[in-house]
């Protein structure tokens, strides 16, 4: 876990340590995080400063809370490489170890450089050592730091820091076996706070091996797999919810269609019943026809057949006054236009004439259907 945190801290420091906007943006974001989160991400673990003070070495911790003294080792060269593990806690002993040089041991020069030099600031200032300092480039350990940018033309305000190798060798000798375990060399400012440079060449900086690297890759792969499974589960849940919603919508649509069909059937039934009622009310009933015939036919008239077919009335029978039947039947309310069909035929057995008489039923014009009452408006739309 510590190795993963260290590597994350180095990576984040690499992303945010190039200066300019990304440096400001990265440090600003990190400042908003709680201290425990910054420690977990490796952004604020700090570093262990070794500062030679005569024959002794002062151990200091620098982190987001500032600098504080940890211990003082009288003779670090004789104490051995394991003295830090004895004096400090394991968490502090694992911190990167930096040699802090006194302010008087270094030479600082302000430089104005073009904006394009920001990406390779250390390589650019290497050509300025001979002109800005009385030393040759191969006789000093050097680094540069970015102080700011000019808003008008974007030029860089940088500072060159050099330390003669002779003075540096004396400081390294005071560290004894710890000199080969340094992650960097910094120079103290006027207030004693480190400037934030690294005079140690890249090839000599200690690179801590990460025994958990393979496990971290495994954990990272598992995290990616878990993330993929989580996203797949979310998509699957959404798909299931969509299918359930579609099934519910289909059920409600089928129910709505069934209700609409039943409503239409009911409307058709009501309209058909009303149509039949109108037809029935417009036609004379059989009782009315029989009553009118009984009142108008003479007593010597006998009917053999009485039929109502559609709108026609058919009478077949025998009568002694067959020729006068048309006159008797005219003017009746249930029918109109009575007439004899064919010739009268004498019946020798009864002594009467056989007749066939037809008439049209008196059908009143059908009344127009009453308009349907409008459905009451939904109270929710008032």
E strands of the chain, at which residues?
47-53, 56-63, 66-73, 97-101, 107-113, 140-149, 156-164, 184-187, 301-309, 312-319, 335-340, 345-347, 352-361
Residues contacting 261, CB < 8 A, separation 6+? none
Q: Please tell me which residue, 37 or 360, carries the higher pLDDT value.
A: 360
Type and span of the H or E element at 250: helix 213-282
* Predicted confidence (pLDDT) per residue in 203-242, tens digit: 777 765 555 567 778 888 999 999 999 999 999 999 999 9
* Predicted confidence (pLDDT) per residue in 306-332, tens digit: 998 888 889 999 998 888 888 888 988
Token pair belonging to 27: 């440090």
% of the chain residues with pLDDT over 70: 80
* Predicted confidence (pLDDT) per residue in 12-52, tens digit: 444 444 444 555 566 666 666 666 666 555 556 678 888 88
Closest CA relative to residue 87, chosen from 99, 70, 100, 75: 70
Return the CATH number of the domain spanning residue range 46-205. 3.30.1490.300
The per-residue b/e assignment along 167-202, b for 16 or more CB within 10 angstroms, e otherwise, is ebeebbebbbebbeebbbbbbbeeeeebbebbbbee
SS3 84: helix
Return the CATH number of the domain spanning residue range 286-361. 3.30.70.2830
| pLDDT at residue 3, rounded to an integer | 47
| pLDDT at residue 23, rounded to an integer | 56
Q: Which of 37-41, 106-110, 232-236, 294-298 has the highest mean pLDDT?
A: 232-236
What is d(CA 82, CA 100) in angstroms, rounded to the nearest whole number? 20
């Amino acid at each position: 876990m510590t190795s993963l945190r260290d590597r994350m801290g180095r990576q984040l420091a690499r992303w945010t340590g190039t200066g300019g906007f990304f440096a400001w943006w990265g440090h600003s974001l990190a400042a908003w995080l709680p201290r425990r989160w910054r420690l977990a991400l490796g952004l604020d673990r700090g570093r262990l400063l070794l500062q030679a003070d005569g024959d002794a070495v002062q151990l200091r911790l620098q982190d987001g809370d500032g600098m504080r003294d940890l211990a003082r080792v009288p003779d670090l060269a004789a104490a051995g490489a394991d003295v830090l593990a004895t004096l400090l806690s394991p968490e502090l002993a694992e911190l990167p170890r930096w040699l802090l040089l006194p302010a008087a041991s270094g030479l600082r020069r302000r430089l104005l450089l073009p904006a394009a030099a920001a990406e390779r600031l250390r390589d650019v200032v290497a050509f300025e050592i001979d002109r800005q300092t009385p030393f040759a480039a191969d006789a000093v350990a050097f680094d540069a730091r970015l102080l700011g940018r000019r808003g008008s033309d974007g030029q860089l305000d940088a500072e060159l820091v050099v330390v003669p190798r002779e003075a540096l060798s004396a400081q390294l000798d005071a560290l004894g076996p710890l000199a080969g375990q340094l992650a960097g060399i910094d120079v103290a400012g006027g207030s004693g706070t480190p400037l934030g440079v690294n005079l140690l060449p890249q090839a000599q900086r200690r690179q801590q091996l990460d025994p958990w690297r393979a496990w971290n890759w495994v954990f990272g792969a598992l995290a990616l797999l878990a993330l993929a499974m989580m996203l797949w589960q979310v998509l699957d849940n959404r798909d299931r919810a969509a299918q359930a919603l579609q099934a519910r919508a289909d059920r409600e649509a089928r129910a709505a269609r069934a209700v609409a069909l039943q409503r239409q059937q009911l409307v058709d039934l009501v309209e058909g019943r009303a149509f039949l009622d109108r037809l029935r009310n417009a036609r004379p009933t059989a009782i009315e026809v029989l009553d009118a015939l009984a009142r108008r036919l003479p007593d010597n008239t006998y009917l053999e057949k009485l039929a109502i077919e559609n709108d026609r009335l058919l009478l077949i029978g025998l009568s002694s006054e067959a020729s006068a039947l048309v006159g008797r039947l005219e003017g009746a309310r249930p029918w109109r236009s009575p007439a004899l069909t064919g010739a009268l035929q004498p019946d020798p057995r009864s002594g009467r004439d056989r007749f066939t008489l037809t008439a049209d039923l008196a059908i009143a014009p059908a009344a127009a259907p009453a308009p349907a009452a409008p459905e009451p408006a939904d109270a929710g739309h008032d």
